[in-house]
Chains A and B, each alone.
Chain A
Amino acid sequence: QSALTQPPSASGSPGQSVTISCTGTSSDVGGYTYVSWYQQHPGKAPKLMIYEVSKRPSGVPDRFSGSKSGNTASLTVSGLQTDDEADYYCSSYAGSNNWVFGGGTKLTVL
């Protein structure tokens, strides 16, 4: 099972919006609605930000949103804040009792 493809880096200024993509195949991202996104600050465990493509857990600001088109899922962070600077990972159920993560995107708030 190959890792999902994410851009290594993304950036934006405070207040701006940034979108991070996550490309897989019809066997994972394209085949299921079980796509989720995680935020990871240095030295910390990942934190769930988006699940089932576009749902936000309680406590996650509505500045974070998710979508999917075909084999590509996207995470959009609006109104960028300095604390949004972190690594972001997508994940998808990949069928046959397998799960897969993306390679991660380092988001820099300029």
Chain B
Amino acid sequence: QVQLVQSGTEVKKPGASVKVSCKTSGYTFTGYYMHWVRQAPGQGLEWMGIINPSGGSTTSPQKFQGRVTMTRDTSTSTVYMELSSLRSEDTAVYYCARVLTYFGPFDYWGQGTLVTVSS
């Protein structure tokens, strides 16, 4: 069965970077795009970007351009999301989410990774 297992809770200081992993199994890794979505405490879902696990190409909204880096390792069927220059507003649960087709929907989600940014 399809599984997306994310790395554990992180606590970072402002200005630092965080790298979250999402290890997949149960399907052909290179056959499905992967997105990253975050959710600040008590807030809604926010789209952060998409990666093509096959070729590695990425797209992210302007808000995150220059701060977010999405990569993948096809040998371990894992995608990564690194967010740099962290600030307190980046405190959130970060999810990886697979899409059924390029346009969506998000059919499988990781369990989420809590990233806390605090001095």
Binding site for B on A (CB under 8 A): 1, 3, 32, 34, 36, 38, 45-48, 51-52, 57, 89, 91, 93, 97-104
Q: How far is the CA of A89 from the CA of B46 in the complex (A)?
A: 11
Partner of A36, one of B50, B105, B110, B112: B105
Q: Besides the contacts A38-B106, A48-B105, A91-B47, what 17 more A-B pairs have beta carbons closer than 8 Å?
A: A34-B103, A34-B104, A36-B105, A45-B109, A45-B111, A45-B112, A47-B109, A48-B106, A51-B100, A51-B104, A57-B107, A93-B104, A98-B47, A99-B47, A101-B44, A101-B46, A101-B47
Q: Is the interface of B mostly helix, strand, loop or mixed?
A: strand
B: contact size bracket = 20 to 34
Give me the 5 closest cross-chain CB pairs, A-B, nearest first: A36-B105, A51-B105, A45-B109, A104-B44, A34-B103
